Amino acid sequence: MTAASAGQALISLHNVVKQYETAAGAYTALRGINLTIDRGEFVAIVGKSGSGKSTLINMITGIDRSTSGEVRVAGENLGKLNEGKLAVWRGRTIGIIFQFFQLLPTLTVAENVMLPMDFCDIGTARERRERAAALLARMDLSEEQANKLPMALSGGQQQRVAIARALANDPPLLVADEPTGNLDSRTADSIFHLFEELAAQGKTVVMVTHDNDLASRASRAVIVADGQIVDAPAA
Amino acid sequence: MRPRWHKVFRDLISSPTRTVMVVLSISIGVFAFGSILATRTIITEQLHDSYLAINPLSATITTDPFDDDLLDAVRHVPGVAQAQGVRVVSARIATGPQQWQDTALYVLPDEGWRDIGVVKPWQGAWPPPKDALLVERASLGKTKAAVGDTVRIEIAGQDSREIPIAGLTYDLSLQPAVISGQVYAYVSFDTLEWLGGPRSYNQIQIVVGEGRSDAAHIQAVADAVGRLVERSGRTVINTDVPTPPLQHPLEILLPTILFILTSLGLLSLLISGFLIINTISAILTQQTRQIGIMKAIGARADQITGLYFGLSAGFGVLALLFAVPLGVLGAYGLTQFLAGEFNLDIVGFRFPLPVLGLQVAAALIVPMATAALPIRAVARRPAREALSGETSAPPEHSPIDRLLSRLHGISRPTRLALRNTFRRRGRLVRTLIALALGGGVFITVMTLRASLFTTLDESIASQRYDVEVQFARPYRDAQAEQAVLGVPGVTGAESLLRGMAFPVLADGTTAEGLNLRAIPANTDMFAPRMAGGRWLLPGDGRAVVLTSNYLVKAPQTRVGDEITLEMNGDNERWRVVGFIEELIPPVSPAWAYVTIDAYTQALGGVGRTDTLRVATAGHDAASHAAAAMALEQRLSADGFEVRLIHTRTEDRNILAERFNVLTAVLTIMAAIIGTVGGLGLAGTMSINVLERTREIGVMRAIGASDAAVRQIVLSEGLIIGGIAWVISTVISVPMSLAMGYAFGMALLNTPLIWVYSLPAVAMWLGLVLLIASVASVLPARSASRLTVREVLAYE
């Protein structure tokens, strides 16, 4: 956390409710969430399966919209942005890391990292290549691995590629949904260490996990149960 | 290249089978469409240009024999730019022992070249040497001889002579031999005299100076020429102004043929569009999660749309790699084929650039346009839905499912196959449309073929004689009949008279001549197919029955009308009592039938005949040939001068030759459309199996054998094939009826006798089941070969 960025709210949710209409009737996934996360924080969102933690980060990333309440991230009221603007905003503001890596299987590792820059028109082709190479090197991936298809890499390596992709547009916020959930404990530890480093370098990191040990290493843990925050120490 | 385009490129090559099928489907559509359009452009332009290049006549005036003095006077008639004298003589060439080929013998000037309807030297001698003849190149085959061979030729009323074929000509002014069934030969006046013909002209051909495309102006000039001819003491037998002017005789048929071919080309393109929708939809379904990821990392809806439009265009570009060269080859082949049939030389074959542009546009636009809706729907799907892998509305418990639940006695795999078939209804409908249209066109074309030949056979069968003998001059009918009845195998003979009749128009001029037959009212040798009114009755008086193609030139004529016909210089009023259907192309003269009693009463010649219709015991080709030979020998021995003998087999062959060309082209088109439909089914089955890879894994994990998996997939393919076959069969009925009507009216001026081709229906069932089996077995085999672990891990 840098001194300049510390203490400023990057994310604020006020009375956020999310309801889904299902065949079995209405289902409330989030019940009046209030949450503030400051710049440079490393926040772990913890909860059991079905507790609403993934829905919560979908609200933060703009992947889903709240039924009521307000979601503000990096100064934007996400409810006011249409899908097109939301996509561009998301590409520039948030790096998302998924549990199952979600790399595009037909693109090489380096191309996967370049893709967000391509969509957001950041840099020239050469600059994109150089940045992707630098990010992959930072993730301890060789040039040879950069030119392979994701399937040729191990799970831990694929998750490192996903992190490199999340960092491609140098977003202030990284959101990770169970990033270690599909990895063995040793690899999970190294990936978590990467997040710690990124947070230390000034990135705001929000990570969903059900691993209490990992959560305890974050600067703050937010516990979600039945669509509500049951334990959210103040930032 | 941007990473997103790398994705497009790799998506194109990542599933070669899928790409090959889509590319083939588009290629075939674009190839067929391009070939036909290019052929249409080339043939239409070149036929017209080549025809104009021979300086086509504006009008023909047929009159009594005349010489150059009259021609000089005609050239001074206001409006006449050029005039030439023409002599045409009916003749026959021996093509075998007692076998003769009808021939039109034209006289060319001594130097060969004539000014109007230019005949060009093609091979061998030029101009026609003394005591030798030249043959029009497209009709040489009918002489069964080659250049340098000597043939026996005989003009009406004269002895036959041996004459060498000294060379070939190229005459675009005449109907191709394949249509007319005639040989065209060219001689000098000296040679004609040597053969026993007259040394004088009998036709004036003129070209007007201005208004060459103005039929009314040409008619006025031709009438002026006619008046001049009459002032010279001659009779104008007929004035013919081709309408519309400056049009090759075949140009009247060309639009219909090309319209039908173009429609089929467009249809194949449309059918390929359905396969593209299915494939792009399947790709989008498969990549829903990837789309969600791209949205999550910043891709806008328009960028996603662009990406998949790029993929669709990629299919189009790959298709062009095949479609353009294939289209050029196809256009070349089809153009050469049609040009050969039309006796047209294609000068410098060049694929028309606008057609190439249309091919490029079609290959790019058709996939993009057809894929637009599914792409738009997916690109607009919220990121959360896409990320969760939700593809569309969850399967509902449809009425079909409920029906299947109630049905007993169906095995579980078959039940599952039936459910699978109706699971993705949009895809099923598109596959069915593609396959059913392919099948519909296939059955329609085969039905059209059967109808054409049935109409031909019916028409031939209505002529209840086996051999027709035309004499060079009239003989006593009893004497002629007695002669032929003495020939072994002859069971009957009927005398008639033949001639020409010219309808006299309101302004006193005459229209195109009609082939006239004066026959007994209660004839045993003719069973006409009535199109309106009635047949001739004994004691009918001045009653005439016309073939229905008469209505092309005089559409206002009705049964009961009186028309004036000029026969042998006399004008007589005749009442139209009926129209009959006969297989005569609209470009050929119509036929008129009157009773022999009424004819001889009007024109004399009671008890005379110049044509005998002869019935024989055998009706096959060999019996006909033998009868013709025996009749020729007997009649020659008895001193009769025979002009021509032709059999029903020969008549049928001439007509069948015309139809074969057409049905060959149509069959090729049906095969192309059937292939595109088959590809549609193959594509759908691969997609279905691919999408259900995980489901197949689950089934195998709970004990389904390879055979059970194959049975499910194969049953699904066969069910789709079966449904498509039923729809094809149903839609082929109105399609073939409409096409039979259009074809008949355009080519023969009478609707075809519709004969639904049941063999084609059976053949298509076999084909569709074969396509369905192959299209299902291959993906089913691949699916059953995967291990349970592999399929369950399949994403």
Domain assignment present for A72: no
Residue B644 belongs to some domain of the structure: no
- The answer to whether residue B645 is domain-embedded is no
The amino acid at B228: L
In a shared domain, residues B382 and B255: yes
Residues B293, A91: C-beta atoms closer than 8 Å: no
Number of structural domains (chain A) is 1
Mapped onto helix, strand or coil, the DSSP state of residue B349 is coil
Which ipTM score applies to this complex? Answer: 0.83
Q: Which of A105, A107, A119 sits opposite B303 (nearest CB)?
A: A119
Strands B133-136 and B161-170: parallel
B541/B408 same-domain check: no
Closest CA to B386 of A27, A87, A66: A87
The torsion angles phi and psi of B511, rounded to 5 degrees, stand at -90, -175
Nearest CA in chain A to B388: A63
User: Under an 8 A CB cutoff, do A90 and B290 touch?
Assistant: no
Least confident window among B277-286, B357-366, B438-447, B574-583: B277-286
Q: Using CB atoms, which residue from B7, B380, B383 is nearest to A104?
A: B7
B296–A114 CB contact, under 8 Å: no
Closest chain A C-alpha to B387 CA, distance in angstroms: 9
CB contact under 8 A, B384 and A114: no
As beta bridge partners, residue A225 has: A228
* Residues A104, B298: C-beta atoms closer than 8 Å: no
What does the alpha-carbon distance between residue A122 and residue A165 come to, in Å, rounded to a whole number?
13
What average pLDDT does chain A have? 87
Does B622 reside within a domain? no
Question: pLDDT band for position B644 (50/70/90)?
Answer: confident
Contact between B300 and A165 using a beta-carbon 8 Å cutoff:
no
Contact, A28 vs A174, CB < 8 A?
Answer: no
Match 């009592």 to its residue by tokens: B577
Residue B203: C-alpha distances to residues B89, B110, B182, B258 (Å): 11, 18, 19, 34
pLDDT at B401 over 70: no
pLDDT higher than threshold 80 for residue B238: no
How many domains does chain B contain in total? Answer: 4
Decide if B18 is inside a domain.
yes
Q: What CATH number did the domain enclosing A151 receive?
A: 3.40.50.300
Return the residue matching tokens 């349970």. B788
Q: Provide the shortest C-alpha distance from residue A93 to chain B (in Å).
A: 9
Binding-site residues on chain B for chain A (CB distance < 8 A): 2-4, 6-7, 10-11, 14, 289-290, 293-303, 380, 382-384, 387
* B448 within 8 A of B735, measured Cβ to Cβ: no
**What residues of chain B lie within 8 A of the CB of A165, using their CB?**
297
B66 and B38 within one domain:
no
Q: Which residue of A has its CA nearest to B394?
A: A23
- B166 and B284 part of one domain: no
List CB contacts of A143: < 8 A, sequence separation 6 or more. A133, A136
Strand partners, B151: B163
Among A84, A96, A106, beta carbon nearest to B296: A96
Angle of helix A155-167 relative to helix A125-138, nearest 10 degrees, comes to: 130
Instruction: Show residues of chain B in contact with A102, CB under 8 Å.
Output: 289, 293, 296
| Interchain contact, B289 vs A102, CB within 8 Å | yes
Measured CA to CA, the distance from residue B433 to residue B677 in angstroms comes to 8
Candidates B679, B703, B523; CA nearest to B613 is B523
Gap from B294 CA to chain A (nearest CA, Å): 8
Report, as an integer, the average pLDDT of B696-708: 72
The verdict on B580 and B672 lying in the same domain is: no
The confidence band for B794, taking pLDDT boundaries of 50, 70 and 90, is very low
pLDDT in tens, B524-582: 888 888 888 999 998 888 999 999 888 877 888 999 999 999 887 788 899 999 999 87
Instruction: Answer yes or no: is pLDDT of B163 > 90.
Output: yes
Tokens of B476: 């006593």
Contact assessment for residue A139 and residue A163, using Cβ atoms and an 8 Å cutoff: yes
Rounded to 5°, the CA angle B534-B536-B537 comes to: 110
> Would you say residue A204 lies in a domain?
yes
- Helix intervals (H) in chain A: 53-61, 83-93, 109-119, 125-138, 143-146, 155-167, 185-200, 212-216
Bridge partners (DSSP) of residue B463 are B526
Tell me whether residues B296 and A88 touch, CB distance under 8 A: no
What does each of the 235 residues of chain A score in pLDDT, given as a tens digit?
333 444 578 999 999 999 988 777 888 999 999 999 999 899 999 988 888 988 999 999 988 889 999 999 999 999 998 888 888 898 899 999 887 888 888 889 999 999 999 988 888 989 999 999 999 998 889 999 999 999 899 888 998 899 999 999 999 999 998 888 777 888 888 888 888 888 998 899 999 988 888 888 888 999 999 999 986 555 4
pLDDT score recorded for residue B770: 87
Residue B517 falls in which region: left (phi positive, over 0), alpha (psi -120 to 50) or beta: beta
Asked which of B361, B393, B425 is the last residue of a domain, the reply is B393
Closest partner residue to B300 (CB to CB) among A62, A87, A111 is A87
CB-based contacts of B372, cutoff 8 Å, min separation 6: B309
- Whether residues B298 and A84 touch (CB distance < 8 A) is answered with no
Write the residue in A63, A108, A169 that is nearest to B296 by C-beta: A63
Helix-, strand-, coil-residue percentages of chain B, each rounded to 5? 55, 20, 25
> Residue A2's pLDDT is what?
39
Question: Nearest by CB to B300, which of A84, A98, A111?
Answer: A84
Predicted confidence at residue B790, as pLDDT, reads: 61
Which tens digit of pLDDT belongs to each residue from B266-300? 887 888 787 778 778 878 888 888 888 898 888 88
Q: Does A169 sit within 8 Å of B298, measured CB to CB?
A: yes
Among B13, B291, B297, the strongest candidate for a mutation testing the A interface, having the largest count of A CBs within 10 A, is B297
Q: Is B637 exposed, middle or buried (0-12, 13-18, 19+ CB in 10 A)?
A: exposed
CB contact set of B61 (below 8 Å; sequence gap of 6+): B203, B204, B206, B222, B225, B226, B229, B236, B238, B239, B240
Q: What is the pLDDT of residue B412?
A: 62
Cα distance between residue B280 and residue B288, in whole Å = 12
* φ, ψ dihedrals at B423, nearest 5°: -70, -50
Q: Is A193 within the bounds of a domain? A: yes
Partner-chain contact B3 A92, CB within 8 Å: no
Q: Which amino acid is at A112?
A: N
Residue B786 has a pLDDT of 66
Lookup: tokens for A203: 């990135």
Q: Which domain holds residue B300?
A: 1-56+250-393
Residues 6+ apart with CB under 8 A from B626: B489, B618
Higher pLDDT, B755 or B642: B755
Residue B586's pLDDT band, with cuts at 50, 70 and 90, is: low
Please identify, among B345, B370, B393, the residue that sits at the C-terminal boundary of a domain. B393
Q: Rounded to the nearest 5°, which phi and psi values hold at B762?
A: -65, -40
Q: Say yes or no to pLDDT of B98 above 80.
A: no
Q: Which of B216, B249, B282 is the last residue of a domain?
A: B249
**B731/B715: higher pLDDT:** B731
What is the phi/psi pair of residue B528, to 5°?
Answer: -65, 150
Q: Are B413 and B715 in contact (CB under 8 A)?
A: yes
Instruction: For residues B240 and B298, state if they share a domain.
Output: no
Contacts 24+ apart (CB under 8 A), B690-696: B690/B18, B690/B282, B690/B286, B690/B779, B691/B282, B691/B285, B691/B286, B692/B420, B692/B783, B693/B783, B693/B786, B693/B791, B693/B794, B694/B791, B694/B792, B694/B794, B696/B783, B696/B784, B696/B786, B696/B791
Q: Please, what is the Cα angle at B438 between B433 and B443, to 5 degrees?
A: 120
Query: Is A15 domain-assigned?
Result: no
List CB contacts (< 8 A) between A111 and chain B: 3, 6-7
Whether A147 maps to a domain, the answer reads: yes
Q: Are B706 and B771 in a shared domain? A: yes
Q: Which domain holds residue A48?
A: 41-66+81-231
C-alpha–C-alpha distance, residues B351 and B574, integer Å: 54
Beta-ladder partners of A98 = none
Q: Identify whether A71 is part of a domain.
A: no
CA distance B283 to B277: 10
The answer on B310 and B206 residing in a single domain is no
Which two structure tokens, joined as six digits, stand for B779? 């993906």
Contact state of B11 with A98 under an 8 Å Cβ cutoff: no
pLDDT at B678 over 60: yes
Q: What residues in B contact A119, CB-CB < 8 Å?
A: 4, 294, 297-300, 303
**Residue among A69, A62, A94, A76 at smallest CA distance from A228:** A69
Tell me the residues of A at the B interface, defined by beta carbons under 8 Å apart: 58, 61-64, 83-84, 87-88, 90-92, 96, 98, 102, 104-108, 111-112, 114-116, 118-120, 125, 165-166, 168-169
| Statement to judge: residues B596 and B454 lie in one domain | no
Same domain? B234 vs B374:
no
Domain contains A17 = no
Does the distance separating the beta carbons of B383 and A115 come in below 8 Å? no
Distance from CA of A89 to the nearest CA of B (A): 7
- Whether residue B550 sits in one domain with residue B535: yes
Determine, yes or no, domain membership for A47: yes
Distance CA B7, CA A162 (A): 17
CA distance B510 to B544: 17
Does an H or E element contain B786, and which?
A: none
Residues B240 and B266 in one domain: no
